[in-house]
């Protein structure tokens, strides 16, 4: 059984990491950028739901 997705997240980093090739650079930087970008997607979806 998988753990529930946290509020504010569309695709968790752990799930996205499975789709990516092995990271050779700074994994924490990639994780931070993914989480910030994913949060914007979540915010956009909520904005569309509440505005229309």
- 8-21 per-position pLDDT tens digit: 999 999 999 999 99
For the whole model, what pTM was predicted? 0.80
Question: pLDDT category, 48, cuts 50, 70, 90?
Answer: very high
Confidence of residue 1 (pLDDT cuts 50, 70, 90): very low
Q: Please provide the distance, in angstroms rounded to a whole number, between the alpha carbons at the two ends of the chain.
A: 35
For residue 28, give both structure tokens.
């924490």
Q: What is the mean pLDDT of the chain?
A: 91
């Amino acid at each position: 059984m998988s753990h529930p997705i946290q509020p504010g997240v569309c695709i968790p980093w752990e799930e996205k990491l499975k789709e990516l090739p092995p990271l050779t650079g700074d994994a924490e930087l990639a994780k931070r950028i993914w989480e910030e970008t994913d949060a914007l997607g979540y915010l956009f979806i909520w904005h569309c739901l509440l505005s229309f």
